[in-house]
Amino acid sequence: MGEYKHAIDEKGRLIIPSKFRDELGEQFVITRGMDQCVFVYPRTEWEQLEQKLKTLPFTKKDARAFTRFFFSGASEAAFDKQGRVNIPSSLREYALLERDCVVIGVSRRVEIWNQSIWEEYFAESEASFSDIAESMENLDF
């Protein structure tokens, strides 16, 4: 958990906070995320997600689209000696990662956001937080 601001360099490398590096391990998976961000999963968490996605019925158009979205953008990654991850250009383009980024911990994954997109998303979500919380009442939250 947590929120950290870092800059991505001209080669597409981004420093990941050490607390996240420890949780992600040496090898991890990076892919497209929801809401125009990048998701980063520890290898074991990715494998569990992969098993769940395999159970989706391939005869359903939405299931095929969803699995294609995740798998086509996914790649294995590792940290360099400075604790940076090299974000593939396709993911940088998808999430508009150009300079200022926000790295957040969300349960069992890390998300990487363009700072201005994150700030806009957070402001919109914050304004409707009580409505969102109320709608989650049925989830026994």
Q: What is the mean pLDDT of residues 110-127?
A: 91
Q: Which residues, in sequence order, are CB contacts of 113 under 8 Å at separation 6+?
A: 36, 37, 38, 95, 101, 102, 103, 104, 121
Domain ranges of the chain: 2-114
Residue 119 has pLDDT above 70, yes or no: yes
Query: Are the C-beta atoms of 73 and 31 separated by less than 8 Å?
Result: yes
Q: pLDDT band for position 133 (50/70/90)?
A: low
Q: What is the pLDDT of residues 23-82, one digit of tens each?
A: 999 899 999 999 999 999 999 999 998 899 889 888 999 989 988 888 899 999 999 999
Q: pLDDT band for position 138 (50/70/90)?
A: low
Q: Which CATH number fits domain 2-114: 3.40.1550.20, 3.10.20.30, 3.40.50.2000, 2.30.110.10?
A: 3.40.1550.20
Nearest to 29 by CA among 4, 61, 11, 53: 53
Q: What is the pLDDT of residues 80-117, one digit of tens each?
A: 999 999 999 999 999 999 999 999 999 999 999 999 99
What is the distance, to the nearest Å, from the Cα of residue 18 to the centroid of all Cα atoms in its chain? Answer: 17
Q: How high is the pLDDT of residue 70?
A: 84
- Beta-ladder partners of 106: 109
The enclosing H or E element of 102 equals strand 100-106
